[in-house]
Amino acid sequence: MPAPAPLVEITRGPFVESRHRGHAVIANGAGEVVEAWGDPDLVILPRSSAKMLQALPLLESGAGAHLTPEQLALACASHSGETRHVARVSAWLNDLGLTEEALICGPQASRDRDLRQGMIRAGEAPTRLHNNCSGKHAGFLTLAQHLGAGLDYVETGNPVQQAVRGAFEDSCGETSPGYGIDGCSAPNFAVSVTGLARAMARFAIAGAASGPRDGAMAALRDAMIAHPELVSGKGRACAALMQAAGGAAAVKTGAEGVFVAILPRMKLGIALKIEDGATRGAEVAIAALLARLGVIEPGHPMLNRPVKNWDGLVTGVERPVRGLLHGGA
């Protein structure tokens, strides 16, 4: 088994204080590996980076034919629980004749500092609508109603999750060896880094063929690119990178150091996993791969993020390792 590759380093003064190692794959639309670092066959849990795959049955079934691009972006989102996110998911549930109690994702405090602190001052508890996965779950509920399935939609025997698993495995070109339960209570199916990159490449080439799968992939990808701040939120890495890419990429994070990117103009997909699960490492690594491919500028601030001490003094930087930006895997 190939060892994880050094991808990101953290400096302090002239010293490299820490390194984040991991695994990454760039794949093309034919499912071939273009470049790889670490172990491309490593099986991982993609976590929220797989939300586009989990949303495929919503469109393939016809259940989401009436949904707007904003709603499709939210179905793929790990949003911040900002007012705009909460309002849109609430309206979506209202259209279904449901309340937030139908969501099985659990309550989560908003990541919007002002909203979160305002709720604390008002004595208001976080709700399920604030959960970063509430849009994905609204999509699951839409599919469940369409299929006439029970509203226990996170159970693996429910037709919703059976459809999700089928779309996931077919898109990745692999049979998943199993699953873990995600933070939102939905099953998260395991896949190799290459399989995940292959699926992202299929999203990248979607739109040129016919059929429900091709149309669903293109619609979800385009909705993400059109609404980056619904996919994540203000100041978040996914939104910042998509905005910097100027329509050339859909980018999605997953917990525990996972990131993916869909590059429709280049017809490529990227998947990466930071071994220690660090978000800071995953953000710098995906930015480096996007810059390597010319999707964002090499001077993007995420590629050289300052590390500051309590007095605001810059003590070091978070940066990609030498060679990740420019040749030499």
Q: Please state the domain extents for the chain.
A: 5-174+184-320
Predicted confidence at residue 327, as pLDDT, reads 67
Structure tokens at 94: 């209202």
Collapse the DSSP code of 255 into the 3-class scheme (helix H, G, I; strand E, B; otherwise coil) and give the result.
coil
pTM: 0.96
Convert the pLDDT of each residue in 191-240 to its tens digit. Answer: 999 999 999 999 999 998 778 999 999 999 999 999 999 999 999 999 99
Q: Is the pLDDT of residue 329 over 60?
A: no
Interval 249-272: pLDDT, tens: 999 999 999 999 999 999 999 999
The average confidence (pLDDT) of the chain is 97
Separation between Cα atoms, residue 87 and residue 96, nearest integer Å: 14
Q: Rounded to the nearest 5°, which phi and psi values hold at 172?
A: -80, -15
The answer, yes or no, to whether residue 24 has pLDDT greater than 90, is yes
Report the pLDDT value the prediction gives residue 148, as an integer from 0 to 100. Answer: 97
Check if CATH label 3.30.70 holds for domain 5-174+184-320: no
Alpha-carbon distance of 186 to 131, in angstroms, equals: 13
| Residue of 164, 163, 138 lying closest to 77 (CA atoms) | 138
Query: Which of 54, 39, 49, 41 is CA-nearest to residue 256?
Result: 49
The band of 325, judged by pLDDT with boundaries at 50, 70 and 90, is confident
pLDDT band at 308 (very low <50, low <70, confident <90, very high): very high
182 with 47: CB under 8 angstroms?
yes
Chain center to CA of 277: 14
What does the pLDDT read at residue 211? 87
Specify the 3-state DSSP secondary structure of 1.
Answer: coil
The per-residue pLDDT for 1 is 76
Instruction: Report the chain's terminal Cα–Cα distance, integer Å.
Output: 17
